[in-house]
Structure 1
Amino acid sequence: MMLDGDQLEVFLAIAETRHFVRAADRLGIAQSVVSKRLQRLEDRLGARLVTRGSRKDVALTRAGQLFLDEARAALASLRQAERIGRNIARGAAGPLRIGYVFSAAMSGTLARALRALRDALPDLDVRLSLMETPVQFDRIVSGEIDIGLTRPRPSYPPAITARTVHREPLVLALADDHPLTRHAAVRLADLAGEPFIMPQFHEEVGLAEAVRDLARAGGFAMPALHRTDDFISAAVLAAAGRGVVLAPASLQHLALDGLTFRPLADHAATVELALLCRDDTPAAARGVIEKALAL
């Protein structure tokens, strides 16, 4: 048998009050129960822990004094294990795996979610993975991640729910020496013939759709697309004069040398982030994040 938490609690109450009656009052139990639990603990350890006085006053024996710190540590550990176990049962502890796209970090959306989780559910072990939208869909369906911060899609797999949690304008990223930087805002007609750098894994939705809409509104053909794997690569290519990037406004936080941003003068395009959750995503974490990221 292992040590019993109730017995340890009784011993600590006696050690701190030096009195059986006061220990019983502190714990809200009968004095006879205090005596029995202490006796069981002493029998278990094979040592007397306290000396009994004639008026119920007690003193710790040498064994009791030496055991006191161990008893405190053991009881604290038991209480911690119980608290974490209860939190695990309600999804407030244990691992929480979050996938996110680059702009979720740049926009501060991910940080807001993490701060809320830290404050409300400090026992969660949050594990982050930077991954693009198609990968997130695969991983959340397979159960490899619990939550995704990603680009919205027209439809979602069964057992997955999505909620828009962030919306921001699209801006143009281009090299400092690009002729269009002479203007405070860029008109769509001035983008005819410009090559666009597209950081989106050959998808035909999301930013690719936004570029098509931009071309249609500007009255010119779909521009040539130079596809890259990520926004960092796209931004570097734009800074090197290899094309322009239609990007979320939060990309401006990147502050990359040689890169300039301009708003669109006659096209109010926006881009969104969606929060993806599985049906079995821990309810406590899901609720905290949804509240923190509510539009």
Structure 2
Amino acid sequence: MIALQKSATEKVRRVAKGEAGQLRIGYISSACSNFLPDLVRQHSVSHPNVQVTLLDLTVHGQQQAFKNNDIDIALTSPISDAAQPMELKTELIYNDEFVLVLPQDHHLTKVPSIALIVLRDSPFIVFKREEAVGLYEQTLNAFKAAGVTPLISSQPRSMQTLLVEVGAGLGIGIAPHCIKRLVSNTCAFVKINDVSVSIPLVAQYKHSPMNPTVSSFVNLLAERKSEIQRLVSPQ
């Protein structure tokens, strides 16, 4: 009986310190694929009794997951202050930039950069507004900065679908640079030289009360932030 009481007390202590329990992370695969695996692996080494669950979700899906208490932390694009739940804290991880996504046989795939206005008469494929309102608004800001009124031919719900549609010749894509990390042998990615719009990736989590397992992961993110920024740099 004493041994069971000690075991139960130790379990409670571990959970309270974030050394045991669960950590459910919602993430955007294109934005996180080249740093999240190593980050989770490092966290698991130092916190072997924390069960980590990774959920590939759009921004909209992450916000719904927070409402349903299905995730503890999101690696996501920020939403407007008006739509932001008060209990969520937001911390910047890194800033991305837009690139043009061209079909592999497009005549401009070999140039180092393109002015967006050069392609003003092309049909454009952009990520669906309802899945990431902030990204959609940033995309429109990029067109506005270039003096382009876009003909938007498609709004896919996933970045992988965007690549498939561009590869099929259905339009020109505009997306964050991180899309290059997804699998595609039918698309080329070219820098845009007449607009500069930062696309932040942030960590969002409930901080009142603060989940101890989230706290340990947030601390690891802070420690690795400079390394992550170097790793994902578009330059």
CA pair 150-82 structure 1, distance change in 2 beyond 3 A? same
Moved more, 112-121 or 229-238: 112-121
CA contact (8 A) 1:199 1:234 kept: yes
Give CA-to-partner distance per residue, 1:134-171, whole Å, 9 cap, x none. 12112213322111111111221121111111212221
Q: 1:200 to 1:116 in 2, by over 3 A?
A: farther
Per-residue deviation, 1:128? 1.3
Measured in 1, the distance between the counterparts of 2:100 and 2:167 equals 12
User: Structure 1 vs Structure 2: percent identity of aligned residues?
Assistant: 25
* Post-superposition CA distance 1:210-248 (Å, at most 9, x none): 321222122221332411110111111111111122222
Structure 1 residues not aligned, in runs of 5+: 6-76
Counterparts of 1:203 and 1:189 in 2: how far apart (Å)? 26
The one of 23, 32, 50 aligned to 1:105? 32
What is the aligned partner in structure 2 of residue 139 from structure 1?
A: 65
Query: Does residue 94 of structure 1 match 2:24?
Result: no
Q: 1:282 Cα deviation (Å)?
A: 1.7
Of 112, 117, 124, 1:196 maps to: 124
**AA at the equivalent of 2:221:** A
Amino acid at match of 1:176: Q
Where 1:213 maps in the other structure, the secondary structure is: helix
The answer to which of 236-245 and 99-108 deviates more is 99-108
Report the equivalent of 1:115. 41
Shift of 1:204: 7.4
> Which is bigger in relative contact order (C-alpha 8 A, separation at least 6)?
2
Partner residue, 1:233: 161
Deviations 1:26-84 (A, max 9, x none): xxxxxxxxxxxxxxxxxxxxxxxxxxxxxxxxxxxxxxxxxxxxxxxxxxx99876544
Whole-Å separation in 1 of the counterparts to 2:53 and 2:67:
17
CA separation of 1:150/1:95 partners in 2, compared to 1, >3 Å: closer, same or farther? same
CA distance in 2, matches of 1:106, 1:82: 38
| TM-score scaled by length of structure 2 | 0.82
**Alignment of 1:272 onto 2:196:** no
Matched, 1:283 2:212: yes
Counterpart-to-counterpart distance in 2, 1:256 and 1:172: 14
CA distance in 2, matches of 1:104, 1:121: 24
Deviations, residues 1-27 of structure 1 (Å, cap 9, x unaligned)? x4x54xxxxxxxxxxxxxxxxxxxxxx
Other-structure match for 1:125:
51
- Report the Cα distance in structure 2 between the residues aligned to 1:107 and 1:193, rounded to whole angstroms: 34
SS in 2 for 1:228: coil
TM-score (norm: length of structure 1)? 0.67
Distance 1:203 1:288, change over 3 A: closer
Runs of 4+ off more than 4 Å: 77-83
CA contact (8 A) 1:92 1:282 kept: no
Q: Amino acid of the residue matched to residue 272 of structure 1? A: P
Tell me if the contact between 1:102 and 1:231 (Cα under 8 Å) persists in the aligned partners: no
- Counterpart CA distance in 2 for 1:114 and 1:203 is 25
Counterpart selection for 1:152 from 60, 65, 78: 78
8 Å contact 1:117–1:289 — kept in the other structure? no
**C-alpha distance 101-281 of structure 1, shift in aligned 2 (>3 A):** farther
Deviation at 1:271, TM superposition (A): 1.4
Change (3 A) 1:104 1:93: farther
Question: Letter of the aligned partner of 1:100 in structure 2?
Answer: Y
Unpaired stretches in structure 2, ≥5 consecutive residues: 227-235
Which is helix-richer, 1 or 2?
A: 1
- Write the letter of the residue equivalent to 1:126: V
8 Å Cα contact 1:141-1:157 kept in structure 2:
no
How far did 1:172 drift?
A: 1.3
Structure number with greater Rg is: 1
CA RMSD of aligned residues (A): 2.4
Q: How many residues align?
A: 221
Partner residue, 2:100: 172
Superimposed CA distance per residue, residues 91-118 of structure 1 (whole angstroms, 9 cap, x where no aligned partner):
321121111122233342x235313421
